[in-house]
Amino acid sequence: MTAEEKAWRPRLVLASASPRRLELLQQVGIEPDALLPTDLDETPGKNELPRSLAARLAQEKARAAAKVAAVTPELAKGYIIGADTVVSVGRRILPRCEVVAEAAQCLRLLSGRSHRVHTGVCLITPKGHERRKLVETRLRFKRLSSSEIEAYLGSGEWRGKAGGYAIQGLAGSFALKLVGSYSSVVGLPLYETVSLLAGEGYPAHLFWLNRV
């Protein structure tokens, strides 16, 4: 990207430190100007549904990043994207696993059954308007043997992942069926995100012409 292109292109902020979300945006030719992760309490509210939690956290992340961007001269009046992914079995929300016992419990629960992945996306425009999307994807895992669960736990790939797995990694071999958006399960629904940006005037496709 040339200096001239950077000078006029509107700023874009991703309210996340997730390398997966950054890679997904880069996959479709979008390079954020800054990453502004937020430190939010992601505990579900009493009786809060999985889809409501995903939508709420995406909005809260975007709003928190927008406050920081507003007082940062090079980011003010930019576009802000926040996203959050929630894995659930029925109304039960699965944790973002940090210890092996949590991941083991999630894998045993998901083994041989269907579950849902909800990803909320919130876009805040330079004029302060909010646009939101919620994407629900259904997955079914094969029945996992004890050795498969132990091997996956040993890989460490589950760490920090909602539901204790990463579909884009080794756990891709567990998925028997997926109905919905694969990129949403990874962390950011690309169709919906690009549509939100383009619909609000961000030149989402401009730099495709310069790709080799």
Does the annotation count 84 as an active-site position?
A: yes
DSSP-assigned states of every residue in the chain: --HHHHHHSPPEEE----HHHHHHHHHTT---SEE-------PPPTT--HHHHHHHHHHHHHHHHHHHHHTSTTTTT-EEEEEEEEEEETTEEPPB--SHHHHHHHHHHHTTSEEEEEEEEEEE-TTS-EEEEEEEEEEEEPPPPHHHHHHHHHHTTTTT-BTT--TTTGGGGGEEEEES-HHHHHT--HHHHHHHHHHTT--TTGGGGG--
**Which of 33, 39, 41, 84 is flagged as catalytic?**
84
Could you list the active site residues?
Answer: 84
